[in-house]
Amino acid sequence: MKLEFTKKSRKQLLSTPIFRLHEDTSAHPQTGEDGRYYVLDFPDWVNIIALTPRGEIVMVRQWRHGTEAVELEIPAGGLEPGEDPVEAAVRELREETGLAPRRATLLGQARPNCAIQANRCYTVLCEGCVPAGETSFDAGEQIALELMSIADIPRRVRDGSLRSGMMLVALLWWMDREKKIAWPARSKTRATKRRPKGSRAARAKARRKPRRTGRRRTT
């Protein structure tokens, strides 16, 4: 079954400093009928798992216009065109918190919303984070730094204090790296084939079974 739609045209409907909105006209793979589909064009993002030498995780509090609430999150930001994800993580961490890591490692990437977005969100682990200067917020940002015990993370996730979806993906990448997730083991059992009646093995077994013999009575 063919699943791929054929894009015939794209029209930009809106351009903002954060994203662009496109309208695509694409043909259905089975019916061939054209439909309109809407795509948000974002830059790639990076989420940062930042740890201090004392083993605390670096968090930030800031106002989010989507939820209209102050959210508790990990540091994060957008990549500049052509920027390496690890370099972007180090830059964003310095800008938002004034901290610099001793070591930064790319853990993985995910697609935030395949239905309407094409960008990637990377997760970078920054270890040994220490003060390295003043913060440098973007226009419109107001951020408060907070250090959290790693042991508090499960409780904060369960009670809804940590609720940003891509942040939870970043925590998953980090916990998987630390082997803190008990993934189900692959089953090693193999399906056994049932031999049909009259197979070679069944016939051989029948030949080994002793036959009953009797004598005909004579009068």
What domains sit in the chain, N to C, each tagged with a CATH number?
A: 6-41 (no CATH), 45-177 (3.90.79.10)
Comparing 191 with 9, which gets the higher pLDDT? Answer: 9
In which band, very low, low, confident or very high, does the pLDDT at 195 lie, cut at 50, 70 and 90? Answer: low
User: Does residue 193 register a pLDDT over 60?
Assistant: no
Q: What is the pLDDT of residue 20?
A: 98
Residue 55 has pLDDT above 80, yes or no: yes
Q: Tell me the residue ranges of DSSP E strands in the chain.
A: 6-15, 20-27, 34-41, 45-50, 56-64, 69-73, 76-78, 99-100, 103-110, 121-127, 130-131, 143-149
**Percent of the chain having pLDDT more than 90?**
81
Note the pLDDT of residue 212.
55
Judged by DSSP in three states, 105 sits in: strand
Give the confidence band of 185 by pLDDT, cuts at 50, 70, 90: confident
- DSSP for 125-185, written as a single string: EEES-EE-S---PPTT--EEEEEEEGGGHHHHHHTTSS--HHHHHHHHHHHHHTT-S-PPP
Mean pLDDT of the chain: 90
Mean pLDDT of 158-170: 97
pLDDT digits (tens, 9 = 90+) for 61-93: 999 999 999 999 999 999 999 999 999 999 999
Q: What is the pLDDT of residue 24?
A: 98
Does position 208 have pLDDT exceeding 90, yes or no? Answer: no
